[in-house]
Amino acid sequence: MLTETTFYYLRHGETDWNKERRMQGATDVPLNATGVAQAHRAKEALRGRRVETICYSPLSRAHDTALIVNEALDARLVAVEGLRECGFGVWEGEVRADWYRDWRHRAITPEGAESYVSFMARALAAVNEALLNKGPVMIVAHGGVYWTVREHTAGAEGTIPNAVPIRHDPPNGPGSAWKTTWIE
């Protein structure tokens, strides 16, 4: 179960491997020039919003995105190890192919990779750990980590874009749903 509190989610800015559709996973691939510019646009979109804590994946693409947006937010920064992207084992660095769909459907797990089920459990635990911090919290992490948020909030379908902030507000009564707002 996802902790019911208002929070923001921001996928890191673009990397060269994003552009090439390579599976980054746990490989520490830095932001490219486009990714840095995206992070600066996100910073301006977030300017004036109240964020008390930014929890980020320790991978440099998320950490650097968090540092840039924090120029406008002046929030407390907290690294959360569990917010790392899924480890894809021997297929890290490979261009996305049919194996990826099979992995998401729990049919295979590449050698040295996390299973889909294990990854989703880790990601949910990490998001909830982040949400224990003084809020509102912004989570700066990865597209895969967002799958667990989407699963519990009916958030954005498909792959979320790089460095476009999303605000999530919890249900406000019986029968109500999470509210998801894109900030651009």
Question: So which residues are the catalytic ones?
Answer: 12, 85
H or E segment and range at residue 134: none
Evaluate whether 24 touches 54 at the Cβ level (below 8 Å).
no
Q: How many whole angstroms separate alpha carbon 35 and alpha carbon 20?
A: 13
Helices 33-46 and 60-73: angle between axes, nearest 10 degrees: 30
Helices 116-130 and 143-153: angle between axes, nearest 10 degrees: 80
